[in-house]
Chains A and B, each alone.
Chain A
Amino acid sequence: MLNLLKKLSIGSYLLLAGALAAVVALIVIIVSCSPNAFDFWFVQMPWVIVLILVALVAIAGVIFFAIKKGDGIIPTVLALVAVMALVFALIQTIEGKQDVLGTVMFSDLEKGYAPAETACYVGFTGMIIEIVSAVLVMASLFFGYAKPQEAAPAPAAE
């Protein structure tokens, strides 16, 4: 395992951090839907879950290919897929949360109504973490995912 990790470069570590942030974001967003027996669940939530799972699978794919075959076009495409999946997850979250954001943060309609405030502020936190996750994955693309493989030693002259 340690040997495998040693093959990874800074890009992969950023990816792993991004994946961790994506998991945290997912949990936080689910929690934000929970007040009043999940009254604040939104219809886009399944898409958010699916897209974050897609991002996680893509990130795993990047790591897998980076370890097996080194950096290349497949990890690049997968990383881009992860970025886009996270962006679309963020969009779906905003879409689903825009109502409660409006009624709590941009008007006084549900200000003071504790379940709505929880749904709003916890959800907002989840969005921030989603952004952090996407930025980390995006930043990873600026770096290599695997350390360059050392050239095999030349056979000794006899």
Chain B
Amino acid sequence: MYKLRPLFRGIAAVGGFFLAATCYGSFILEENKIMVDQQLGTKSSIIITEEDDDSLFKTFVPDADMMTEDGKLNPEAWDQAHKNAAQALQESGTVLLKNTNNCLPIAKTAKVSVFGQRGKDSNLTSIFTDEAAEGKFVQNPTLKAAYAAVRGSKSSPGYANNKSLTNHFSDGEISKAQLLEQNADLEDSFTEYDTAIVVLGRQNAEGADYQKGPDGVAEGRGLRNPLAGSDVEKELVEWVSSKFSKVIVMIETVSQMEIGYIKDNPNVQAIMYVGLLDNYGSSAKGLYNILTGEVNPSGGLYDIYSSCVENTPAAVNVGLYEFANKDDVALIQNKALSGRSARVSAADITALLEQRETQGGGRIDTSSIGTGGTDFGFYNYLVEAEGLYVGYRYYETRYEDCVLDQGNAKGSKGIFDSTGSEWKYSEEVDYGFGFGLSYTTFDFEITEPHFEKNGKHEILAKFDVKVKNTGSVAGRTPVQIYSQSPYTAYDKTNGVEKAAVQLVTFEKTGILQPGETKTYPVIVDLQDVASYDSFNKKTYIMEESSEYYFSVGNGAHDALNNILALKGKSTSDGMDYNGNSKAAKKWTYQNGAAEDGIDSYTFAYSKTGEQITNQLGKVDWNDFFDQQQTKRLSRQNWQETWPEEYTNLTAPKEMVDLLKGKYFDIKRNAAERNLSEEEFNAMWGQETELKFSDFKLADFNDDRWEELLSGIKFEDALMYAIQSGRGFSALNDIGVPAGSFAENGAGITWRQNTEEIQAPWKVEKPSTGSYPSSTVGYFNTYAIWASSFDRDVMHEIGRLMGNDAIVGDKPIVWLPGANTHRSAFGGRASQYFCEDPVLTGICTMEVAHGALAKGGIITAKHFAFNDQEAGRSGISPFMTEQRAREVELRAFQIPFEMHKYDTPEEDVGMMGVMTSFSKIGAIECTAHEGLMTNILQKEWGFHGYCVSDLKDDLDIMPETFRAGSTGYDWRTQNVDVDPYNNVEYFKYDKDVVAGIRSAVKRKLWMFAHTPLVNSINKTTHSEWNMTWWRGAYIAGIATSASLLGIGASLYAVSLFLKKKGA
């Protein structure tokens, strides 16, 4: 036996090793159980409903089209419904930009030569085949082989990615020479495969902008900026266009690219904007149908495509700018305080909280602890001196001023590609916002508007738009309605800016047959036409007896040309083509509510009855100074007010205090408590008979909420308020089950198969088939959603997300991004729809409403002002309140107010929102009372769930609750190790306590309108559940402990016997 002692001690060692590992593993799993559940699809605590009743699984039920006759989920039908919507989206959103010589459509049997890395790499490849097949084009095998040889074994060559500010962009496109090097006779193959498709594009990524100018570009590629055509791309287009009689260029991007060299190439007959195709082939199918003429393209461009992406005033100030007095502002924020508790000790946290009390609130300088800091953009700023003139608003307004010869518009400032010394629209813009061609043509006519006044504060303009298909094939078209407001002496005196056109609403026609005319009624709320007067009236205004216009057209530029035609202007005045005066109407605003010609009363109240006035505080850089420091672009004089690049600005003392988080006087010191122990105790932990199940679909103003809230212990309420992402803990005292969310929609998940969910639609997971784990994975990028101008298709996507929320048991969906594109350089453009707030807002509203009916909580992000990725974690963007309200905020206002779907019985609205990392002015958005409470809640009537993105503001958590946020995207789920789970720290400021109580109420109210209530009644409570991973670690601990015991015992015995034998 002694000879076996190495075996025994080895067994003991193995046992010891695995015992330690499994014990620790179990600790880690339990600490992160909500996240583990999220990843593994398990439930570590389950909802137990002891007594069944008829109310269960009746509140939200999946739609019948995705179910079997016996009420089970039909996975194939479910999958197909998503794919159908994705295909419909592509067919509605693809934008035809150029089509000469009837290049398109092409034959279904066309033989094609596909050029460009993206043509080989993208999700487009599913419509190309090597042999003739239904629904596919036969592609040139010789060319395909040449590309494959150059690309080698790399499946994704890493081309066209945007890079961080310290890296240089390279397009990485394969050159003509590289292809010919593989096969010198390559061009011979072009004769048979005689239709060329060239696919070019750019990528986006979170956290990394494109860097403007040649500084951000790798050497030797010939790019003037990352979004311009490179030498290789230009040569490729030139080569292809010289060898083929049919050349189609597909633009696969979200960031606006400079495509003038393609547009101006006469041998390129067709250009299509296609978005970023989905991974499951639905977009490609839609595209095939458009290429072959099965479907007529009907999209309008989501952003303006200028000849140079730097020729917009917004591009003057893009990038990282640091305060000159950075040291005064800098708060070295250790990442530990952004929730990364693993990097800092509990003792450090305690010391920091004490420091915070000593300094009287605000941000904490954490440079004394941890291991180096991260600036989080605390000393970055951005002066958005372009004001209202962002996106098409700039180009179209300057164009009108050129035609009307006013405002010094023709001057040299802002010229990039215009020949000569005068600014020329047609040479600075390639394709306008909303522009898109069709295989047919349409004629628009607009009728005289009439006005309907509802109460004191709502005036609706109603008119019809007649749309006639004047071509020879059937097709659809967007009906884009724009307005123009007069730019008056009052505006000039008071710094009110007016864009020459702004989108106010849109519809999309059904399929119109050749020669068919249909009339579409349009309603415009004049609140959307009114302008925000930041400086004098400090509210929305309309100008009495002044001339306003409505117009319809193929994009913003066409609509403006129609207005100019109505004004009697033509090409002889400098217009690029003559407009259609029948497609525009002039009207005069006469309401009689103005004392001095300026009606600052009618539109000064929101739909909730709240008075609208300046709420963002000192939001413009100049607000901090007596004298104007930075320019504000004004159409009064384009040359004198053209922005400068504002570098190295010095933050004044008042701004520094705000940057350091000193917003509120929050009582933390025991001597200054403003909430007594008795008052506090009366608010929490009271006995109540009420349960959460009593609040299914309850009204927000239901009187019983207060009693329900009083039934919660404060420590539970605090954690429930804080935890707003990755999982929501249960509140057992009042029967609230744990909730969960899906960042991009639940997709088709199979959580309903877990034993504890007894939904009647439960179905076994299919053994075959691959389904996306997120709903959004089915669809093309948001830019295509916007380009579709198709409310119905977006509502359908929302409906699918709502159904996914029911079946996937994940009611909250963190999407879409409702920020607007400020410049082409923004890295996160693919998460946002477009540059226009109304188009963004309506897209978001339709998706949110579609989901809402099924209890899906669309949570739009990032509220607000995430205008670039550089410095995004805490950057200070400065702008006028007019710009903020008419651009960034309007995009969010529309889905929150959701007027279209309001009824006399119900005031509906989007129920979720995620705040941005960004500040507005010098104050964090998430802790900005004016933004979070006064605008979001009071003006727009938002009651729901408002999560702070990531955790960059944890050190100002009391301020955040005080301002109106409902919690954090919180990952550390173990309450015991949570440095902020500190009741004493929060409980003595009555405003903070009220904020926490409000946060809990709003989250519960939101959950009361989701499928979370499907499985609960009075008997519902949560219980610990034996998941498979718990079983695994328990078995592991038992086995390894046994091994350790047996091995050690045998080893000891062997030694003993040896000794005895000796």
Contacts and interface: CB of A to CB of B under 8 A. Distances in A.
Contacts of B39: 106
Nearest to A80: B13
Contacts of A95: 28, 342
A109 interface: yes
A137 B14 CA distance: 10
A11 interface: yes
B372 to A, nearest CB: 5
Interface in B262-314: none
A38 B344 CA distance: 14
Given A80-B9, A96-B342, A73 B1055 contact: yes
B371 to A, nearest CB: 4
A38 B6 contact: no
B63 interface: no
Interface in A89-111: 90-91, 94-99, 102, 106-109, 111
Interface string A108-143: 110111100000000000000000001101110111
B345 A83 contact: no
B13 A79 contact: yes
Contacts of B207: 112-113
A10 to B, nearest CB: 10
A36 B10 contact: no
Contacts of B164: 114
Interface in A52-72: 71
Interface stretch (B16-24, B612-620, B756-764, B835-843): B16-24
Contacts of B6: 11, 71, 141-144
A99 B343 contact: yes
Contacts of A99: 340-343, 971
Interface stretch (A20-28, A39-47, A149-157): A39-47
Contact of A88 (B9, B10, B14, B20): B20
B374 A36 contact: yes
B34 interface: no
Given A102-B971, A112-B206, A96 B17 contact: no
A37 B13 contact: no
Given A36-B372, A43-B342, A142-B6, A98 B28 contact: yes
Given A43-B345, A84-B16, A141 B371 contact: no
Interface string B407-441: 00000000000000000000000000000000000
A94 B28 contact: yes
Contacts of A41: 343, 370-372
- Size band of the B side of the interface? 35 or more
B939 to A, nearest CB: 32
B777 to A, nearest CB: 13
B335 interface: yes
A96 B21 contact: no
A79 to B, nearest CB: 7
Contacts of B344: 43
B966 to A, nearest CB: 20
Nearest to B340: A99
A134 B10 contact: no
Interface string B4-16: 0011011011101
B208 A112 contact: yes
Contacts of B522: none
Nearest to A76: B9
Contact of B13 (A42, A96, A98, A141): A141
B17 A87 contact: yes
Nearest to A102: B971
A102 B970 CA distance: 12
A155 B24 CA distance: 58
A134 B372 contact: no
Contacts of B13: 79-80, 83, 137-138, 141
B329 to A, nearest CB: 20
Given A94-B28, A142-B10, A143-B6, A39 B20 contact: no
A42 B343 contact: yes
A139 B10 contact: yes
Contact of B205 (A36, A76, A112): A112
A4 B638 CA distance: 88
A34 to B, nearest CB: 10
Nearest to B972: A99
A38 B371 contact: yes
Given A39-B372, A39-B374, A142 B342 contact: no
Contacts of B374: 36, 39
Nearest to A131: B21
A138 B971 contact: no
A83 B13 CA distance: 7
Given A80-B16, A114-B164, A138 B10 contact: yes
Contacts of B28: 94-95, 98
Contacts of A108: 206, 743
A5 B609 CA distance: 89
Nearest to A11: B6
Given A76-B1051, A98-B342, A39 B35 contact: no
A142 B992 CA distance: 62
A43 B343 contact: yes
B20 A87 contact: yes
A41 B208 CA distance: 24
A80 B20 contact: no
Contacts of A142: 6-7, 9-10
Contacts of A144: 6
B950 interface: yes
A42 B342 CA distance: 7
Nearest to A98: B342
Contact of A141 (B10, B205, B373): B10
Task: Identify the 8 closest CB pairs spanning chains A and B, nearest first.
Answer: A142-B10, A41-B371, A141-B10, A141-B13, A87-B20, A91-B24, A99-B340, A99-B342
18 contacts: A38-B371, A39-B335, A43-B370, A73-B1055, A84-B20, A87-B21, A95-B28, A97-B342, A99-B971, A108-B206, A112-B205, A112-B207, A141-B9, A141-B13, A142-B6, A142-B9, A142-B10, A144-B6
